Amino acid sequence: MNRRYFIKAAAASALLPQGIVAASAATANPSRADWFFYDDRFAEAVRRAQELPAPVRTFPVRGDVTDVWNAELARAYDRPPLTLHGVTTESFYFCLKVLAGSKTGIDTTVARVDRDLFLWTIRAHGGTHARTMA
């Protein structure tokens, strides 16, 4: 990952117009995800991934989105719509949101699961503005 690109994308995402809407990420439906990421260091994340129906592609992660972004996700974001869900640390979600938002318009939801984990959704819709729902 090019550090300069990441910093520029992060700065740009902070400047995008964002409508903040009160909503709960708990209402997100991970069984409709194209991808589901879970941090396999945490039992709660593993449990949630194991509860998903078979068609959902699950991916264990350990905090760094770079490899999966470069290998597959960057290309997948060229063809929205795309829905990602996850139960990961905040850093994984934040980095993925910045990278995804640099390629297309996104809608996001996020809620804290416990001290370490967040339940989140990122939907790529192909527009140019990001919306965050907390």
Task: Tell me the average pLDDT of the chain.
Answer: 77
Query: 14 lies in a domain?
Result: no
Q: Of 12-16, 49-53, 117-121, give the lowest mean pLDDT range.
A: 12-16
Query: 134 lies in a domain?
Result: no
In terms of DSSP H, where are the helices of the chain? 3-15, 43-50, 66-68, 74-76, 90-103
Query: Is the pLDDT at 15 greater than 50, yes or no?
Result: no
Query: Is the pLDDT at 21 greater than 60, yes or no?
Result: no
Q: Dihedral angle at the C-alpha atoms of 5, 6, 8, 9, nearest 10 degrees?
A: 110
- 123 vs 22, higher pLDDT: 123
pLDDT for the residue numbered 82: 86
pTM: 0.71
Chain Cα centroid distance, residue 94: 8
How much is the average pLDDT of 8-27?
Answer: 42
pLDDT 10s digits, 56-74: 889 999 878 888 888 888 8
Query: 2 lies in a domain?
Result: no
Domain of 110 in residue numbering reads as 23-128
pLDDT for the residue numbered 9: 55
Query: 45 lies in a domain?
Result: yes
Query: Is the pLDDT at 75 greater than 90, yes or no?
Result: no
- What is the number of structural domains in the chain? 1
pLDDT 10s digits, 78-107: 777 888 999 999 999 999 999 888 888 899
Is the four-CA dihedral 71, 72, 78, 84 of positive or negative sign? negative
Query: 13 lies in a domain?
Result: no
Query: 44 lies in a domain?
Result: yes
pLDDT for the residue numbered 6: 54
Task: Name residues whose C-beta falls within 8 Å of residue 35's C-beta, 6 or more positions apart in sequence.
Answer: 57, 59, 73, 76, 82, 83, 84, 85
Query: 6 lies in a domain?
Result: no
Query: 88 lies in a domain?
Result: yes
